[in-house]
Amino acid sequence: MKKPVRSVSDIGAEVRRKRKSDGLTLVDAAGLCNVNYRFLSDLENGKPTARLDKVLQVLAAIGLELEITERSWKND
């Protein structure tokens, strides 16, 4: 399933959705992702200053990928 990402909150919501669908608590998921509980909680809540390297680490560990695609510019 592809979803556009327009904010850190969009990423956080998907991380939370995937974690919960996998039946993981925040503590369990943080351990699996090798990040601390606070970082994962902040990410799920859309903290705008989350470190990108750790965000990518979390996504990989829980089975999500971030994709970049070119968007078309609409002529108005």
pLDDT mean across residues, the chain: 93
- Of the two residues 6 and 38, the one the predictor is more confident about is 38
pLDDT recorded at residue 23: 97
Q: What is the mean pLDDT of residues 37-48?
A: 96
Report the alpha-carbon distance of residue 71 to residue 33 in Å, rounded: 31
pLDDT recorded at residue 73: 82
Residue 18 neighbours by CB under 8 Å, 6+ apart: 62, 63, 64
- Of the two residues 30 and 76, the one the predictor is more confident about is 30
pTM for the model stands at: 0.88
Contact 11, 43 (CB under 8 A): yes
Sign of the four-CA dihedral 54, 55, 61, 65: negative
pLDDT recorded at residue 76: 54
